[in-house]
Amino acid sequence: FCEAPRSIAPHEWPDDITKWPICRKSVIDGSAAAGRAGHAAEHMACEVIGHPCCIGVHGQCVITTREHCDFVKGYFHEEASLCSQVSCLDDVCGMLPFMRRRRPDQLYRAWTSLFVHAGLLHLAATLALQWLFMRDLEKMAGPVRIASIYLGSGVAGNMASSLFEPYRAEVGPAGSHFGLLACLIVEVIGAWPLLRHPRRALLKLIGIAIALFLLGLLPWIDNFAHVFGFIFGFLLSYALLPFITFGTYERRRKIVLVWMCLVSAAAMLCGLIALFYAAPAYECTACAYFTCLPFAPDMCASQDVRVRQLDGV
């Protein structure tokens, strides 16, 4: 079948066909050439026109012709014969290779996707939120603290999204925005004795958070990034924001709470990273309803929310 590389000792090909290497020179090609030259029967020689084709952003691989692959706007691998010989996720994502071919495990994308937007409207919304909320928070707590909360919440939110929706492409700092909202709530709690109407301010922020969480049940809005970004932002804000205390006992209690929140945030991030590589939620059938609730028939059909990889990958 193959002349280069040949299956000879000690480099014999395994019995599992999915582990065969890419054949650089085929015996069939030589037979076909011999058939055309009259040295072999033409019906004994054939030309293989079906090769792996990577389709879509989910890393789906099918064996098809170049014409069909071009029609569906796929990536045609003429050098390979089996889908096991190619990595469609590498073709879709690029940059650094994957540790495991069948699972999207590029951890750095939880960071880089914070700076990518789906269009000018998405970018304008991000800039507006940063101008309205982040600017005042930076003046109050300093740019280093707020940047740590903003980026940390975004990374935690994207990590959670990659766990529960690993085969869905997403961009934007949604988790970071909810981290800023949690930061505002922590600021109200910390300055409770100094505010004239602290309950009113807290209820207003909680109402906004609940409304945005409910908005996340609509298509194309990631509620996993919202929830985990909010939780991580709350813990990190409580640990990093400056605080006011009245008395020695209250100061000690505050320091204990700060360390508890800091350790909890670190444990949460480490847990997300560990689950990302060890046991992602690929079989969570109910997770799709958390980020897109079908209030009407086929409401979430266009979103293609799922946690399982397509067949033929």
Residues 250-282: pLDDT tens digits? 788 888 888 999 999 999 999 988 888 776 655
For the cut 60, the answer to whether the pLDDT of residue 308 exceeds it is no
- The pLDDT score that the predictor gives to residue 86 is 85
Q: Count other Cβ atoms within 10 Å, centred on residue 85.
A: 18
Q: Which residue has the higher pLDDT, 109 or 202?
A: 202
Q: Which residue has the higher pLDDT, 291 or 279?
A: 291
Tokens of 80: 């390979």
Q: What is the mean pLDDT of residues 129-146?
A: 88
Domains delineated in the chain? 2-93 (no CATH), 109-291 (1.20.1540)
Using CA atoms, how far residue 245 sits from 248, 253, 261, in Å, is 8, 10, 17
**Mean pLDDT for the chain?**
80
For the cut 70, the answer to whether the pLDDT of residue 32 exceeds it is no
Secondary structure class of 64 (helix, strand, coil): strand
Q: Which residue has the higher pLDDT, 27 or 180?
A: 180
Using CA atoms, how far residue 275 sits from 140, 202, 288, in Å, is 35, 34, 18
- The pLDDT score that the predictor gives to residue 268 is 93
